Chains A and B, each alone.
Chain A
């Protein structure tokens, strides 16, 4: 997998805003940023309202995904460029989700909204409407999605990559430090997991580090390239960022994202939990 196939720069993007067959989509949990100014021509995807089932804790189903993309005016042949705030967490989640439903031509805008804004590139408030399409999705590709039983079975034999901050990993915090700490589940991490915070894969401006830096980062943390891998975080978006780095940038073949992540695992009855740094002292 080469970087050019999965990632585009802000400069390339600005030059291709009008290119036929290229659709920009901003993905965020909080879409007020989009409403206040977005990349010209970009459609809005609301992580919570568009991508999550409104009742059950799960994604919208295949039919729901088809309806969403059809309404947004995205066709099967379009190259979709995803970007968003929070260092592209939700955009990376959407990227994984597009792949899950079989859309092949999807890329991330490197650095997302942050890089775009820091560069002082144009944003506008024009309402974006595209002619509706008849989008056809595939069945979910479960080779990239992990469920809880598989995660429990993976303890000690697959790479489990916990991408939360060290304090969440150790059990000191239950959520990232920009959120109130009021979750009910237990703190800690899955035994045998290595802690490589998602942020270590990114530069300060939100762009991904080089392949060489990324290889070194995971090797140093004890990531075993010969083993299968499951990445997780709290709810599955920061781990999508790491899933992207491991599978799409570094080319590791069997990498799954566990979207249930800590909010599911930390609430299960009877599963093993490890506290502290996880390193032998």
Chain B
């Protein structure tokens, strides 16, 4: 059966193949993880690419490609964004502060 396009559970650990470029991290508000935030992955031109909702621990994860990206978080308590540059395959960490 074909699965839908909904996002898998965020957080936890995954096995990343040698070809995958993963961007992952946490959304924080004054250092405290923010669950239920909407995190949008924007490409180098600012174009929307994907969106996930953070886990209760504030985690998010995208399967992207090498290049420059922006991750932008929306939450009822505030918004924020951060840039991340993925030089090649592997896991690239990034944190977003919302205020």
Contact = CB atoms under 8 A, between A and B. Distances in A.
A235 B5 contact: yes
Interface string B6-50: 111000000000001000000000000000101011010001111
Nearest to A116: B76
A47 interface: yes
Given A166-B47, A199-B48, A30 B76 contact: no
B50 A176 contact: yes
A85 B53 contact: yes
Contact of B51 (A54, A167, A178, A233): A178
Interface in A194-230: 197, 199-200, 204-205
Interface in B62-94: 62-65, 74-76
A119 interface: yes
Given A85-B53, A178-B41, A234 B6 contact: no
A45 B61 CA distance: 26
Nearest to B53: A85
B53 A177 contact: no
A151 interface: no
Given A172-B65, A178-B62, A86 B40 contact: no
A263 interface: yes
Give the secondary structure class of A's interface.
Answer: loop
A114 B50 contact: no
B52 interface: yes
A177 B48 contact: no
A178 B7 contact: yes
Contact of A87 (B36, B51, B64): B51
Contacts of A200: 48
A234 B5 CA distance: 8
B59 to A, nearest CB: 13
B4 A29 contact: yes
Interface string A28-67: 1110010000000000000110001010010000000000
Contact of A85 (B6, B8, B40, B63): B6
A120 B75 CA distance: 9
A28 B4 CA distance: 10
A235 B4 contact: yes
B57 to A, nearest CB: 14
B81 to A, nearest CB: 11
Contact of B8 (A33, A87, A179): A179
Interface of B: 1-8, 20, 36, 38, 40-41, 43, 47-53, 61-65, 74-76
Given A29-B6, A89-B5, 11 more contacts: A29-B5, A30-B7, A85-B53, A118-B75, A165-B49, A167-B65, A175-B5, A179-B5, A234-B5, A235-B5, A238-B5
- The 8 lowest CB-CB distance pairs between A and B, nearest first, are A29-B6, A177-B50, A29-B4, A199-B48, A178-B50, A178-B7, A120-B76, A178-B52
25 contacts: A29-B4, A29-B5, A47-B4, A52-B1, A57-B1, A57-B2, A85-B6, A89-B6, A90-B6, A114-B74, A118-B74, A118-B75, A167-B65, A175-B63, A177-B62, A178-B41, A178-B62, A179-B63, A180-B63, A197-B48, A204-B40, A234-B5, A235-B2, A237-B5, A263-B2
